[in-house]
Amino acid sequence: MKEEIDLITPCSANCEYCFLNYTGSLIQNPLFRGIDKETAGRLIKNTRHQVKKLKKGEIFAHEGDPVFNLIIIVQGTVAGEMMDLHGNMLLVEKRTVPQSFATAFLFGKKTSYPVTITATEETKLLLISRQDLLTLFTQSSEIMKNYLDTIADRAQFLSGRIKLLSLPGLRAKLAAYLLELMKQAGNREINLPHTQQELAEMFASTRPSVGRLIRELHAEGIIGARGKKVTILKVQKLKDCIK
């Protein structure tokens, strides 16, 4: 990782890795919201950057590695995972086009990856160094505002996750999670966006425990559960679980 910053060189127009192949993905990135394709192209062209290709399963960065660049996903998917001292994985989150990562860890006292980043399929990333990003900010206050928004969203997400994890007991966490999903969906019928395995990891629990709890809530008539489709039958009872 150390020498990564040196690898970034201006991209020639006919380079196989040229960002021009990905402007479509790029302008969908929140960082370029409100900015048209030509402007974005011009800004990036004048900014040092690098396109990096990852094979499926390849590790891009390890937990603790220093962060030198903003990384925008232009193709594929990556997963952020943290592992405990014995190598057990705790899935944190997946990211895909047109998201970025390392946004919140490019600055601050300790600029290092909090999780290990792995490509879960063939993936291409656009890298922009911290210094060049700052320059970009001075050229476009739109991008600066967008970047602030991105970090803020990230902090919101983390904060919500903490709120969930802070609840005492698995039952409370699952209840809060379901209620949150219901609020988002605006509907009592939910499609679970995660597998039980993933839920267990989110809740710092285990898969059988999560499964059992879903069964229990079902047996108590609080929810209806058929596969990934869940219907909230008794909202108040579910809220009481959070006590």
Partner DNA sequence: GCAATCCTGTAACGGATGTTACATTTTTAA
Partner DNA sequence: TTAAAAATGTAACATCCGTTACAGGATTGC
214 lies in the binding site for DNA (CB under 7 A): yes
Q: Given the rule CB under 7 A, which of 16-24, 28-36, 138-146, 195-203 is the region that contacts DNA? A: 195-203
Which of 16, 186, 227, 236 contacts DNA by CB under 7 A?
A: 227
Q: Six-digit token pair at 201?
A: 């990891």
Instruction: Describe the strand order of the beta sheet including 50-54 as a list of residue ranges.
Output: 50-54, 123-129, 69-75, 100-101
Q: Given the rule CB under 7 A, which of 14-22, 124-132, 135-143, 208-216 is the region that contacts DNA? A: 208-216
Q: Quick one: which of 96, 113, 111, 104 has its CA closest to 28?
A: 96
Instruction: Describe the strand order of the beta sheet including 189-191 as a list of residue ranges.
Output: 189-191, 229-232, 223-226
Least distance CB 152 / a second copy (angstroms): 3
Least distance CB 240 / a second copy (angstroms): 8
Q: Which does 151 bind (CB under 5 to 8 A by kind): DNA, a second copy, none?
A: a second copy
Count of residues that bind DNA according to CB under 7 A: 23
CA distance 151 to 85: 29
Least distance CB 202 / a second copy (angstroms): 8
| Binding stretches for a second copy (CB under 8 A) | 82, 84-86, 90, 92, 104-111, 114-115, 134, 137-138, 141, 144-145, 147-156, 158-163, 165-168, 172, 201, 204-206, 239, 242-243
Q: What single-letter amino acid sits at 45?
A: K
Least distance CB 227 / DNA (angstroms): 6
Instruction: Rank residues 11 and 71 by Cβ distance to a second copy and give the closer one.
Output: 71
Residue 58 contacts residue 119 (beta carbons within 8 Å): yes
Which of 2, 86, 87, 168 contacts DNA by CB under 7 A?
A: 168
223 lies in the binding site for DNA (CB under 7 A): no
Least distance CB 168 / a second copy (angstroms): 5
197 lies in the binding site for DNA (CB under 7 A): yes
Which of 21, 25, 112, 196 contacts DNA by CB under 7 A?
A: 196
55 lies in the binding site for DNA (CB under 7 A): no
